[in-house]
A = this chain, B = another copy of it.
Amino acid sequence: MYKICVIEGDGIGKEVIPAAITVLKATGLEFDFNYAEAGDEVFEKTGVALPEKTIEAAKNADAVLFGAAGETAADVIVKLRKILDTYANVRPVKSYNGINCLKTGIDYVIVRENTEGLYAGIEAEIADGITTATRVITRSASEKIFKFAFEMAKNRKEEGKSGKVTCAHKANVLKITDGLFKRTFYDVSKGYNLPAEDFYVDAMNMYIISRPETFDVVVTSNLFGDILSDGAAGMVGGLGMAPSGNVGDKYGLFEPIHGSAPDIAGKQIANPTATILAAVMMLRFLNENKIAEMVEKALEEVLELKLTTPDLGGTLSTSQMAEEVSKRL
């Protein structure tokens, strides 16, 4: 019996999360779903976007499944990541058959540092019209994220992948902060017998377009990971296809990369793939690897058969697509 804290949040969160829950229920595993609130709606009701009760529920669960928040997204999700000390944001990039990808044969993971960088929250207006934000890079957080990336690469190598780790940074301009980041990367790499390389983040942003098939694990700082991963998602069918996991030593929070998409909310046309894939990541986090595999296979079949929402070329609703996946479990 797994205790899952479920946060639907706003907009299409209320559609894609129920779709993922449908699929989870069909796996035969036993779940205790504990629903909690966060986002614009609860903010409007109570003045708080991330209630204490939700934080407690998240801490008391084996894993958290998160939908999307609207205007309050940064306050909700950045805060939750910090509170749960989920220092790694894991973003798989995979081209699935049946999906209109700009390239095929893409299968890598972006590992984004999730606690510092420009998300440190240190900003000020130091004089009228003059503002600053402080980007923080520490050796300890860098070590942690690089170890995480190399461990992941080691596992991937065992599965027959290249196990190469690519670090993206801007050490030519950010000589001190990204100098430390890059040095720490190669220091950590010494503990592993795996290929390691590094690129400037600007070049990397071209390579995710021009040769995404050459990457296995890409590791980078917080905001660079945010930017690169949206581009990477664009190559494999868009945000509707892109899940993510926020993982720490204790907690795991899984969410689609997309937001609340108010323009299409309430219409049952939102693509649930990203959230179902986030649930797959959650199953792996819970060590239910076989079940995770089974769900991903079922989803792949549904994608190939175009039993999907309209954005992917199908004619089904969000919940109908989830039913199709469930049927195949």
Scoring A176, A229, A235 by chain B CB atoms within 10 A of each residue's CB, the highest score goes to A176
- Tell me if A280 counts as interface (CB < 8 A to partner B): no
Q: Which of B134, B223, B226, B239 contacts A134 (CB 8 A)?
A: B134
Cβ of A140 and Cβ of B133 under 8 Å apart?
A: no
- Tell me if A83 counts as interface (CB < 8 A to partner B): no
**Looking at chain A's contact residues, is the secondary structure mostly helix, strand, loop, or mixed?**
helix
Complex Cα–Cα for A173 and B78 (A):
8
Contacts of A118 in B (CB 8 A): 135, 170, 173-174
A152-160, A198-206, A314-322: which lies at the B interface?
A198-206
> Which B residue's beta carbon lies closest to that of A180?
B131
Chain B: minimal CB distance from A273 (Å): 16
What is the total number of copies of this protein in its complex?
Answer: 2
A229-B209 in contact given A73-B172, A102-B102, A135-B118 (Cβ < 8 Å): no
Chain B: minimal CB distance from A68 (Å): 13
Number of interface residues of A (CB under 8 A): 53
> Which B residue's beta carbon lies closest to that of A175?
B123
Cβ of A176 and Cβ of B125 under 8 Å apart?
A: yes
Chain B: minimal CB distance from A70 (Å): 11
Complex Cα–Cα for A223 and B78 (A):
22
Cβ of B223 and Cβ of A208 under 8 Å apart?
A: no
Complex Cα–Cα for A234 and B128 (A):
39
- Tell me if A210 counts as interface (CB < 8 A to partner B): yes
> Which B residue's beta carbon lies closest to that of A134?
B132
Chain B: minimal CB distance from A103 (Å): 8
- Tell me if A227 counts as interface (CB < 8 A to partner B): yes
- Tell me if A286 counts as interface (CB < 8 A to partner B): no
Complex Cα–Cα for A233 and B136 (A):
30
- Tell me if A251 counts as interface (CB < 8 A to partner B): no
Top 7 nearest A-B pairs (CB, nearest first) are: A129-B139, A209-B234, A123-B176, A206-B234, A202-B230, A205-B231, A74-B172
